[in-house]
Chain A
């Protein structure tokens, strides 16, 4: 993801050199297909989202009534919106701790701790990333199922008690069940990024640390972590950005329930627009999400610039 930001500044500095000389028409001709699809499916909808958030209209009642900023005033007082917002933040924070923390540990072990079986181990750990979130959600519904679930059985065998309404049916627990599945699915993703970065650390640094008498744990803290500083910032940003994009997993595991306890901004937008039919209000929530996403984008841009 930072790759794009680095390139953006690289592109600014460097003039591309073509041995065929400058040819504006040919250049524009080649970017035209990409630009027209963007304009149609990203730029135009983006502007329309901003405009539509000021109107009241529904899926079945397409006549638009101008309501100004009243949707935004409503958002401020909407408890469900704040639950969704808070849930996105909880998902981001737990994601940083669990996915990046464990991903880092796994990457460090694969990079320097073990010698055999690396490719098999990494193939296993990456695997959940390629399977659709819907398939993974269904699989975990089975695991959490109060009648046939593996977790239920495990708790029973250990003599522990389980929640009365099941793992996904208890409003205090459901969000953490979702976070757990996210951890299972995405930790491997963080591991890949961190492992690639670790493999770029010059081996001499480790040898020098060894000469100074540092064991593997000390050299992890004194060599690996400082060298990974920038990549870790990238990982935190990726995790926060994806936390605000969560939708599929919530949809298939709880649909935002029980109550609104697992509602996230993505599911709240979809629910408002296509279930309740409050298109204008959904657009106002979308604008809030856009502001957050673009804000995070700017943070990322700044971070990658400062490092230069």
Chain B
């Protein structure tokens, strides 16, 4: 193995990682610049800073309805993630703490459903939603999002509840607390960080989900952001200023949430490699 002075190696590491950060940031900053450029400038000066801040692209995007897509994504995310976390918490707690009969079967079933890829059940799911009259409704998105979000969340929370200290539950019992009350007033408040990690991971998933939305949403009033973006692309074809303004607006809330909650987000992801 080559031996080299530690300082040179450290310098090379900084250069490499700095270069990699530039590689990540260049397209992102390019998106921001393009969103503030006039059409002519995008062609004349593709990669430079904008000469002046031009807001026309954003005006066009707002007037063609990104607000509706935003609202739809927000409603879908709130209901889906609340549903996922509530249902998964109950199931994970029961599986980890209550020795009921058939528990192992339920757990195996959940692990097995995690392996089922979404693509592979598309046609029957489409027909199911059609049968319920849920095509072109947000409820038609929310229900499958909850179903597909549960396995990962149950698995994540199951690990947490297995390690939850027993003493607290015992103390509650001595004080005459019922099992249901113990779950709601003792266990849940102490599980907030775990629930938050699980929720944030699902927010990212639901906010960005595209395939189910593509299949079941056709009218403009119910489209979510990722789907809305593809229709902007069709509408403005090569109006890159407007497209990048729309992309920027759709990414901003999730990036802001991620930066604020980075710790929780990373925790939910590192669970995968444990």
Contacts and interface: CB of A to CB of B under 8 A. Distances in A.
Interface of A: 1-8, 10-12, 14-20, 22-28, 30-31, 33-35, 37-38, 40-46, 48-49, 52, 102, 105-106, 109-110, 113-114, 119, 121-135, 138-140, 142-143, 145, 147-150, 153, 184, 188-189, 192-194, 196-197, 215-218, 221, 231, 234-235, 238, 244-245, 247-248, 251-252, 265-266, 269-270, 273-274, 279, 282-283, 286-287, 289-290, 293-294, 297
Interface in B81-104: 87-88, 90-91, 93-104
B190 interface: no
B192 interface: no
Contacts of B144: 41
Contacts of B90: 30-31, 33-34
Interface in B33-92: 34, 42-43, 46-47, 87-88, 90-91
A248 B210 contact: yes
A71 to B, nearest CB: 13
Contacts of A140: 27
A22 B274 CA distance: 31
A48 B124 contact: yes
A279 B107 CA distance: 32
A46 B113 CA distance: 9
Nearest to A232: B273
Main secondary structure of the interface of A (DSSP, over half): helix
B188 interface: no
Nearest to A249: B210
A149 B147 contact: no
A230 B227 CA distance: 38
Nearest to A48: B124
A135 B251 contact: yes
A217 B115 contact: no
Q: Which of B100, B210, B254 has the most CB of A within 10 A?
A: B100
B13 A109 contact: yes
18 contacts: A16-B96, A20-B182, A33-B91, A38-B110, A40-B147, A41-B148, A48-B124, A121-B21, A122-B266, A135-B251, A138-B229, A143-B27, A153-B47, A184-B23, A196-B270, A215-B4, A248-B226, A270-B122
Interface of B: 1-4, 6, 9-10, 13-14, 16-17, 20-21, 23-28, 30-31, 34, 42-43, 46-47, 87-88, 90-91, 93-104, 106-111, 113-128, 143-144, 146-148, 150-151, 154-156, 158-159, 162, 166, 169-170, 173, 179-180, 182, 204, 207-208, 210-211, 214-215, 225-227, 229-230, 233, 238, 240, 243-244, 247, 250-251, 254-255, 257-259, 262, 265-266, 269-274
A216 B114 contact: no
B158 A7 contact: yes
A134 B230 contact: yes
B70 to A, nearest CB: 13
Nearest to A116: B14
Given A26-B100, A266-B119, 19 more contacts: A3-B273, A11-B95, A24-B102, A26-B180, A43-B113, A45-B124, A48-B124, A106-B17, A110-B17, A113-B10, A126-B266, A130-B254, A130-B257, A135-B229, A145-B238, A196-B266, A216-B9, A217-B2, A234-B272
Contact of A238 (B9, B147, B272): B272
Given A6-B274, A45-B128, A19 B173 contact: yes
A148 B9 contact: no
Contact of B25 (A43, A124, A279, A282): A124
A26 B97 CA distance: 11
Contact of A293 (B26, B120, B154, B226): B120
Contact of A3 (B110, B257, B274): B274
Q: Which of B17, B103, B120, B238 has the most CB of A within 10 A?
A: B120
Contacts of B156: 3
A52 B120 CA distance: 12
B128 A40 contact: yes
Given A38-B109, A217-B2, A139 B27 contact: yes
A289 B104 CA distance: 27
A139 B74 CA distance: 23
Contacts of A43: 109, 113
A203 B173 CA distance: 42
A124 B272 CA distance: 21
A134 B254 CA distance: 14
Contact of A150 (B26, B99, B266): B26
B37 to A, nearest CB: 10
Given A33-B91, A197-B273, A114 B10 contact: yes
Given A15-B99, A231-B273, A150 B125 contact: no
B150 A273 contact: no
A147 B106 contact: no
A157 B123 CA distance: 48
A289 B23 CA distance: 34
A38 B84 CA distance: 12
Given A8-B107, A16-B95, A23-B98, A34 B150 contact: yes
